[in-house]
């Protein structure tokens, strides 16, 4: 993300739909979502206003929307924010907490080390 754009938990399903489907109209984006259309339109407009989504006019009543923030950019920003706010920026504390709380086995740790070395 070039500029820091905050995507709220309520806006995230819209972004996920755009990442999965690519450029889409609002009915295509909202397909299968539980919230009412009015709420979803408000969330979509908020994402456009923030610069996370671009609206391209198809005709006088219809728009095609596309994500300007990639999923990779969002995940990276969210991870950094989570690390900073929850673990004071300490990667060691984050990893130790994960290993302890998620009961990671020795074999899983060894497999992970192999993956890291391959990178």
* Cα–Cα distance measured from residue 9 to residue 14, given in angstroms and rounded to the nearest whole number: 10
**pLDDT of the residue at 80:** 92
**pLDDT of the residue at 42:** 96
Query: Are 58 and 64 within 8 A, CB to CB?
Result: yes
**pLDDT of the residue at 54:** 97
* Cα–Cα distance measured from residue 16 to residue 44, given in angstroms and rounded to the nearest whole number: 12
Dihedral-angle region of residue 67 (phi above 0 means left; psi in -120 to 50 means alpha; beta otherwise): beta
* Cα–Cα distance measured from residue 94 to residue 114, given in angstroms and rounded to the nearest whole number: 20
Question: Could you state, in chain order, the average pLDDT of each consecutive group of 10 residues for the chain (119 residues)?
Answer: 78 97 96 90 96 94 95 93 95 92 92 93
**pLDDT of the residue at 67:** 97
Q: Which residues contact 46 (CB under 8 A, 6 or more apart)?
A: 11
40 SS3 class: helix
**pLDDT of the residue at 70:** 95
**pLDDT of the residue at 21:** 97
**pLDDT of the residue at 60:** 85
């Amino acid at each position: 993300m070039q500029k820091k754009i905050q995507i709220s938990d309520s806006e995230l399903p819209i972004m996920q739909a755009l990442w999965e489907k690519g450029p889409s109209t609002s009915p295509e984006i909202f397909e299968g979502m539980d919230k009412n259309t009015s709420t979803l339109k408000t969330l979509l407009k908020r994402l456009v206003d923030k610069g996370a989504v671009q609206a391209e006019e198809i005709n006088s009543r219809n728009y095609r929307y596309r994500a300007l923030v990639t999923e990779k950019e969002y995940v990276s920003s969210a991870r950094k924010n989570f690390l900073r706010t929850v673990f004071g920026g300490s990667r060691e504390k984050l990893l130790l907490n994960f290993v302890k709380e998620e009961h990671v086995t020795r074999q899983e740790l060894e497999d992970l080390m192999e993956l890291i070395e391959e990178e």
